[in-house]
Amino acid sequence: MRRFSSSSSTTTTTDEADTSPSVDDASFKAPEFEINRRRNFAIISHPDAGKTTLTEKLLLFGGAIQDAGAVKARADQRKATSDWMEIEKARGISVTSTVLSFEYNLMRAGAAAGAPPFHLNLLDTPGHQDFSEDTYRTLAAADNCVMLIDAAKGIEDRTRKLFEVCKMRELPIFTFTNKMDRPSMSPFEIIDQLEKEFNLECCPMNWPIGDGESFQGVLDRATSEVHLFTRGDRRKKLTANVVALDDPALPEIIGETLYLKLLEDIETLDALISPPDHDRIMTGDQVKTQPGPR
């Protein structure tokens, strides 16, 4: 192998036998099944949309932690897992990207019995412009991204910039509309914003029922089941209360007005929204949308 060494005054070359392993050496490669079960996904949004809070919930429901931390914790609460620097704890913002890994058994149709769990690398990125370079570098390692939208504010400046980066890399994008348990924009308004500003097609997988104080939960369009929202300790994992859409008790549970509005929304979605297209999702041309509380 011919090696080059340089200094300010001279440049010399030496010939040495190449005893280092080849880059194709199998000992440097991870097992194929380990590569296939890994997923790197980044969470992006405008500052204060709830990225770190969402990260905590994903860790909680993924079984990595038992008690979700808070970005601005009280004395009786622990801090967010991804906010480990003192400045992050003090100011309640993320100033550097954090990688959080956990194993997750994905229940899906056609999955082989005893299939190994996915190894998820969750990339929590800073939202503030001052730390944007760190976010851009992190997105280079992402397989896909979750774009977080504040339901009351819609698309904001930093979200637009970060979307451009993801679009340029043709990353699959999944949109989560946060804070539905606060007064919010209509979900149709948010979809309209996403499609007009980003020139992509939205495919709502879940649909919100009400907003603010009247928020009752979400409809899973694939299973026609309503997952009811329960106000309680947001730090703990709660057992979901699920009711079938055709359950006679549902109008009484969520209220007749919201029930009729839900049926009207379903009819509109079925008529106007295209079903998920895996190929278009993988290139970032179609985006799955999900609503939820903070």
3-state SS string for 179-218: CCCCCCCCHHHHHHHHHHHHCCEEEECEEEECCHHHCCEE
Query: Are the C-beta atoms of residues 256 and 248 closer than 8 Å to each other?
Result: no
Cα-atom radius of gyration of the chain, to the nearest Å? 23
Token pair 């637009």 in the structure block, residue: 160
Tokens standing for residue 145: 């991204």
Q: What is the pTM of this model?
A: 0.76
Tokens standing for residue 113: 């019995």
Integer CA distances (angstroms), 89 to 29, 65, 79, 95, 138, in order? 38, 18, 7, 10, 21
Amino acid at 12: T
Q: What is the mean pLDDT of each run of 10 residues along the chain (294 residues)?
A: 36 50 64 86 84 80 62 44 53 67 70 74 73 75 91 90 87 92 93 93 95 94 93 60 95 96 96 92 91 82
* Sheet bearing 286-291, strands edge to edge: 98-104, 118-124, 38-44, 144-150, 173-178, 286-291, 201-204
Instruction: Assign 12 to helix, strand or coil.
Output: strand
For residue 14, the model assigns a pLDDT of: 46
Tokens standing for residue 269: 């979605």
For residue 158, the model assigns a pLDDT of: 86
β-pair partners for 22: none
Q: Which of 181, 115, 105, 112 is nearest to 150 (CA)?
A: 181
Q: Which of 191, 221, 189 is nearest to 205 (CA)?
A: 221
For residue 9, the model assigns a pLDDT of: 39
Query: Are the C-beta atoms of residues 127 and 46 closer than 8 Å to each other?
Result: yes
For residue 152, the model assigns a pLDDT of: 92
Tokens standing for residue 285: 């041309």
**Residues 149, 163: Cα–Cα separation, whole Å:** 12
Query: Are the C-beta atoms of residues 291 and 206 closer than 8 Å to each other?
Result: yes
Query: Are the C-beta atoms of residues 198 and 163 closer than 8 Å to each other?
Result: yes
Query: Are the C-beta atoms of residues 172 and 284 closer than 8 Å to each other?
Result: yes
Alpha helices in the chain (DSSP H): 32-36, 51-61, 86-91, 132-139, 157-168, 187-198, 250-254, 256-272, 278-282
Max CA distance (Å), the chain: 87
